[in-house]
């Protein structure tokens, strides 16, 4: 079953979006979605449409801002960029996820070393 | 947490800009897809394949839109709006059902609101005074005959005020005031007004502050001081047009110049607390020295000291009252009062507590019946809607979603019912509050307030939850397929069981209510059935004012003229005069001459009425023996009395009382007649036999006449031939013009 894609955990998509915008600067929805797919090596199960629920949520919390503009191929698109408070939030979230990942790593690396050996 | 607040705010904002936001999202998604398609085509896909791939990667435009809406707006509100729209549509389609349901609910809820408002005012809300829990009413224990045995003399009151340690203050009011005991003389016709004499510190004890001017000062309770008065707010508004400059000016009350020192606040209604049904226009000082010889006439109210319990105060009162003399000037009259302390609130509403709670339960039962009825109606309707719900379930609606829809429906019905019910209750209450003939305490203060609105909300939601989900429970079960195929037969048995349960519940509730109402009605009928000894239904009363200069012969002439002219009014069958309306009682003693020293008999406490010839006939009282008072008795100053059967039996048992001499009112009087017993105070009060002992004097005997203007005989009683001929309507001549007609019961 190693072939199937990863289901996204609650809240992870928001962090990914923030990080993408932080790293790449202003992007439209498709840009963000494509970038996340690329970085994850296509391991994440992401319907591109779900990105918009995440974008509007972040926007309402004031962490990203949106503006209509034109894409590289001269197409009208909404461009999202991270705000000051979004950057602050990203720092917090990054720390949180790293701690969690570390803990998960340690817990899962645990072996029967305490057993009678 | 700032961002969650901001988010909530934005969500509400988005809720109202739904169309615009959807439009933007659609554009955004369209350009997204277009970009993917273009990219795919650059990878040499066919246009068709490029579009297919793009849609696969996007994963459902409609779902994306739904998710977007959910995270940006208020999804529960969306669902609610949807339900509301749907409900209104279905209810409109089913107008007959809707109207019936709303009307039933309005009646049930309206009755509940009305009764709750009364319960709230009388039982739950504190009295409208400062720290009302400290207020105590002091009454003699085991009252025997009328007010005289419940009240205290001026001397006893003063002694108690000085000797007690439990009360911050003790004060009282003159308990023997009849309505319209003063007349306000102005430029136009004299107006009858009701004034109550209050002892020093009465308003301070209650904690009532004047809304204008000041309260009485101690020097105004001294004999021969300048007469002063405090006005009640409604009287000031009505009679004096709310004139603020009236303070410090004199008004003419029964030909005495009285200075108005203040106006009491609108919230202070003496009648509603101390004398239900009465309206009081003004207050004057009760000057102790004027009343020292008058026996018991003060009704006492006290305010407990901080931290003193009612029981402690009662303990002290039990010590003090037996030591108090009736009158300092005459220590030989003896001593020995009793004092029963009752919280004022308890005193005012205690007697009503049980009946009100019964009433409250009764309307609660009515509401339950309403709910059961509606459940039944909804079930009947559900049978018709069963396919609709099966269809919705087949389309993926969950059970909870359907129940939610049904609850929304019942809540809407309940809400509309509650609004109508509130209107109904408001009408009932404003009618009740202006009904002077209903002697419920605090009735004028009954109104729809915040607590009542909360109660309304509670019962509306409660009943919606009670009657609403029944069909839902029923419908959510069952076999979908069968229902869809043919709604008729499926689940018939469970349907029937539910309806039977409801019908049984309803009949049980109705039985309880019927039995309860039957019992109430029975005791009420028993009250009505009592032979009152007179006929109140056809009696009317007019308050009359005249000036006789204290001359008995002149008064007889005036009375005769009043009675003669009143009798001539079309529709009047008989007319007579008495000094007091029947509800106000003065009690004196009466004894058979020669027997007055006997311990077992002696003076019998009785109620005394000063009456003119014709009074008995006007009241419809039955003369059993002897004759009525005649005008000759009156003009010749002959001392005659008519007694009732109880008095006759007590004083002259086994003998003929006619022609015997009785001692009463300080003189001898000849008994000329005996009438059937009259129950005048209250038809229910028959337990105390004392109530029934009445004596009717010629006015020639009345010692009060010469001394005390407020109590001079001045009520004319009329007996009408037919109810619709109310005597006040077509009064002839100038003689009766300006007299006040009062309906009498």
Q: Tens of pLDDT along A11-38?
A: 788 899 999 999 998 989 888 988 888 8
Which chain A positions have a beta carbon within 8 Å of B4's beta carbon?
Answer: 61
CB contact under 8 A, A78 and B28: yes
What residue in A sits closest to B2 (Cα-Cα)? A61
Give me the helix-helix angle, B450-467 and B399-433, nearest 10°: 140
C-beta of residue A82 within 8 angstroms of C-beta of residue A22: yes
- Partner residue facing A53 (CB), from B10, B58, B71: B71
Residue B585 tokens, joined: 């009682």
Q: Residue B479: phi, psi to the nearest 5?
A: -95, 115
Best A47, A60, A64, A88 residue to mutate vs chain B (most B CBs within 10 Å): A60
CB contact under 8 A, A30 and B32: yes
CB neighbours of B744 closer than 8 A, spacing ≥ 6? B536, B539, B540, B541, B581, B717
Is some CB atom of chain A closer than 8 A to the CB atom of B10? yes
Residue A69 has pLDDT above 50, yes or no: yes
Residue B132 tokens, joined: 């009302």
Q: Residue B199: phi, psi to the nearest 5?
A: -75, 165
Q: What's the pLDDT at B744?
A: 30
CB contact under 8 A, A49 and B6: no
Is some CB atom of chain B closer than 8 A to the CB atom of A92? no
What residue in B sits closest to A50 (Cα-Cα)? B64
What's the count of helices (H) and strands (E) in chain A, helices before strands? 4, 3
Is some CB atom of chain A closer than 8 A to the CB atom of B454? no
CB contact under 8 A, A49 and B61: yes
What residue in A sits closest to B56 (Cα-Cα)? A47
B468-498 per-position pLDDT tens digit: 777 766 665 556 666 666 544 445 566 677 7
Specify burial of residue B442 (Cβ count, 10 A radius: 0-12, 13-18, 19+).
buried
Residue A10 has pLDDT above 80, yes or no: no
- Partner residue facing B3 (CB), from A50, A62, A71: A62
Q: What's the pLDDT at B702?
A: 43
Q: What's the pLDDT at A107?
A: 93
DSSP per residue, B217-248: -GGGGSTTPPPEEEE-HHHHHHHSTT-GGGTT
Best A29, A36, A56, A92 residue to mutate vs chain B (most B CBs within 10 Å): A56
- The CA radius of gyration of chain B, in Å to the nearest whole number, is 37
Neighbouring CB atoms inside 10 A of A43's CB total 11
Size of interface A-B (CB pairs under 8 A): 81
Q: Which residues of chain B have pLDDT under 70?
A: 1-2, 142-149, 178-179, 187, 276-277, 435-441, 444, 472-495, 523-539, 543-553, 579-589, 596-602, 605, 607, 634-635, 637, 665-666, 678-745
Which chain A positions have a beta carbon within 8 Å of B56's beta carbon?
Answer: none
- Partner residue facing A61 (CB), from B7, B58, B64: B7
Residue A46's beta-bridge partner residues?
none
Q: What's the pLDDT at B479?
A: 61
Which chain B positions have a beta carbon within 8 Å of A53's beta carbon?
Answer: 64, 67-68, 70-72
Cβ under 8 Å to A: B residues 55-114:
57-61, 63-64, 67-68, 70-72
Residue A44's beta-bridge partner residues?
A6
Q: What's the pLDDT at B350?
A: 75
pLDDT band at A96; cut points 50, 70, 90: very high
- Partner residue facing A52 (CB), from B10, B14, B29: B29
Q: What's the pLDDT at B730?
A: 35
Residue B316 tokens, joined: 């002290």
Is some CB atom of chain B closer than 8 A to the CB atom of A74? no
CB contact under 8 A, B58 and A48: yes
C-beta of residue B683 within 8 angstroms of C-beta of residue B745: no
Best A17, A38, A48 residue to mutate vs chain B (most B CBs within 10 Å): A48
In the three-class reduction of DSSP (H, G, I as helix; E, B as strand; rest coil), residue B261 is classed as strand
- Partner residue facing A47 (CB), from B14, B59, B68: B59
CB contact under 8 A, A48 and B10: no
Residue B742 tokens, joined: 């009062």
- Partner residue facing B35 (CB), from A47, A61, A75: A75
pLDDT band at A105; cut points 50, 70, 90: very high
Is some CB atom of chain A closer than 8 A to the CB atom of B27? yes
Residue B258's beta-bridge partner residues?
B251
Q: So where are chain A's domains? A: 12-109
Under CATH, which number does the domain A12-109 receive? 1.10.10.10
B129-183 per-position pLDDT tens digit: 888 889 999 888 866 555 566 788 888 898 889 888 889 999 999 887 766 777 7
Which chain A positions have a beta carbon within 8 Å of B67's beta carbon?
Answer: 49-50, 52-53
Give the pLDDT mean for A44-48: 77
CB contact under 8 A, B3 and A63: yes
CB contact under 8 A, B10 and A60: yes
What residue in A sits closest to B66 (Cα-Cα)? A53
At residue B338's C-alpha, the angle toward residues B333 and B343, to 5°, is: 145
In the three-class reduction of DSSP (H, G, I as helix; E, B as strand; rest coil), residue B276 is classed as coil
Residue A45 has pLDDT above 90, yes or no: no
Which chain A positions have a beta carbon within 8 Å of B38's beta carbon?
Answer: 73
Q: What's the pLDDT at B734?
A: 28
Q: Check residue A8 and report its DSSP letter.
A: P
Q: What's the pLDDT at A1?
A: 39
What residue in A sits closest to B26 (Cα-Cα)? A52
- Chain centroid to Cα B684, Å, comes to 19
Cβ under 8 Å to B: A residues 40-59:
47-50, 52-54, 56-57
């Amino acid at each position: 079953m190693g072939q199937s894609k990863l289901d996204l955990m609650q809240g992870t998509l928001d962090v990914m979006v923030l990080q993408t915008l932080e790293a790449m600067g202003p992007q439209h929805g498709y840009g963000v979605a494509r970038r996340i797919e690329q970085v994850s090596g296509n391991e994440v199960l992401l319907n591109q449409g779900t990105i918009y629920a995440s974008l509007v949520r972040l926007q309402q919390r004031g962490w990203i801002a949106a503006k209509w503009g034109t894409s590289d191929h001269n197409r009208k698109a909404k461009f999202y960029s991270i705000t000051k408070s979004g950057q602050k939030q990203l720092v917090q979230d990054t720390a949180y996820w790293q701690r969690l990942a570390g803990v998960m790593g340690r817990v899962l690396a645990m072996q029967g070393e305490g057993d009678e050996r | 947490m700032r961002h969650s607040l901001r988010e909530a705010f934005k969500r509400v904002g988005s809720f109202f800009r739904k169309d615009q936001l959807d439009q933007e999202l659609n554009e955004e998604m369209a350009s997204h897809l277009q970009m993917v398609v273009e990219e795919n085509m650059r990878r040499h896909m066919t246009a068709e394949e490029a579009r297919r791939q793009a849609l696969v990667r996007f994963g459902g435009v409609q779902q994306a839109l739904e998710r977007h809406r959910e995270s940006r707006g208020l999804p529960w509100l969306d669902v609610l709006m949807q339900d509301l729209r749907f409900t209104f549509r279905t209810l409109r389609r089913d107008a007959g059902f809707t109207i019936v349901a709303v009307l039933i609910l309005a009646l049930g809820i309206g009755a509940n609101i009305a009764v709750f408002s009364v319960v709230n005012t009388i039982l739950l809300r504190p009295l409208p005074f400062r720290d009302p829990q400290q207020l105590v009413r002091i009454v003699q224990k085991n009252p025997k005959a009328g007010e005289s045995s419940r009240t205290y003399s001026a001397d006893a009151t003063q002694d108690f005020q000085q000797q007690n340690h439990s009360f911050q203050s003790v004060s009282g009011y003159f308990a023997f005031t009849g309505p319209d005991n003063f007349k306000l003389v102005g430029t136009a016709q004299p107006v009858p007004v009701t004034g109550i004499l209050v002892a020093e510190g009465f308003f301070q004890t209650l904690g009532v502050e004047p809304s204008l001017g000041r309260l009485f000062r101690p020097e105004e309770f001294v004999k021969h001081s300048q007469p002063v008065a405090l006005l009640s707010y409604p009287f000031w508004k009505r009679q004096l047009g709310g004139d603020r400059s009236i303070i410090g000016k004199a008004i003419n009350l029964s030909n005495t110049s009285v200075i108005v020192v203040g106006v009491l606040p609108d919230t202070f209604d003496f009648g509603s607390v101390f004398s239900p049904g009465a309206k009081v226009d003004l207050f004057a000082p009760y000057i102790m020295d004027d009343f020292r010889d008058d026996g018991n006439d003060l009704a006492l109210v006290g305010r407990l000291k901080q931290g003193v319990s009612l029981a402690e105060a009662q303990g002290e009162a039990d010590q003090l009252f037996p030591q108090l003399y009736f009158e300092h000037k005459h220590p030989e009259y003896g001593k020995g009062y009793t004092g029963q302390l009752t919280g004022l609130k308890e005193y005012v509403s205690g007697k009503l507590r049980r009946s009100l709670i019964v009433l409250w339960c009764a309307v609660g039962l009515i509401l339950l019946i309403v709910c059961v009825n509606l459940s039944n109606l909804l079930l009947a309707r559900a049978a018709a809607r069963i396919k609709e719900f099966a269809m919705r379930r087949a389309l993926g609606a969950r059970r909870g979603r359907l129940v939610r829809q049904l609850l929304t429906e019942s809540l809407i019905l309940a809400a509309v019912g509650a609004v109508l019910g509130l209107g109904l209750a408001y009408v009932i209450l404003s009618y009740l509050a202006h009904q002077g003939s209903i002697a419920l305490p605090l009735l004028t203060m009954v109104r729809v307030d915040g607590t009542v609105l909360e109660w309304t909300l509670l019962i509306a939601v409660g009943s919606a939850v009670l009657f609403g989900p029944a069909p839902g429970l029923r419908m959510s079960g069952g076999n979908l397929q069968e229902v869809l195929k043919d709604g008729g037969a499926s689940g018939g048995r469970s349907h029937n069981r539910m309806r039977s349960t409801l019908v049984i519940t309803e009949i049980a509730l109705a039985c309880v209510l019927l039995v309860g109402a039957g019992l109430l009605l029975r005791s009420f009928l028993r009250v009505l059935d009592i032979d009152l000894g007179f006929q109140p239904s056809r009696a009317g009363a007019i308050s009359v004012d005249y000036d006789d200069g204290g001359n008995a012969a002149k008064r007889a002439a005036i009375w005769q003229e009043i009675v003669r002219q009143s009798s001539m009014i079309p529709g009047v069958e008989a007319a007579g005069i008495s000094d007091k309306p029947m509800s106000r009682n003065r009690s004196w003693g009466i004894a058979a001459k020669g027997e007055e020293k006997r311990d077992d008999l002696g003076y019998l406490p009785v109620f005394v009425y000063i009456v003119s010839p014709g009074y008995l006939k006007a009241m419809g009282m039955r003369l059993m023996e002897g004759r009525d008072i005649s005008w000759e008795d009156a003009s010749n100053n002959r001392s005659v009395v008519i007694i009732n059967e109880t008095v006759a039996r007590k004083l002259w048992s086994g003998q003929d009382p006619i022609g015997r001499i009785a001692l009463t009112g300080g003189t001898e009087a000849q008994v000329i007649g005996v009438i059937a017993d009259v129950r005048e105070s209250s038809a229910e009060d028959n337990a105390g036999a004392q109530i029934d002992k009445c004596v009717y004097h010629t006015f020639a005997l009345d010692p009060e006449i010469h001394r005390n203007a407020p109590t001079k005989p001045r009520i004319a009683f009329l007996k009408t031939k037919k109810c619709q001929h109310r005597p006040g309507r077509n009064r002839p001549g100038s003689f009766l013009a300006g007299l006040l007609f009062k309906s009498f019961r």
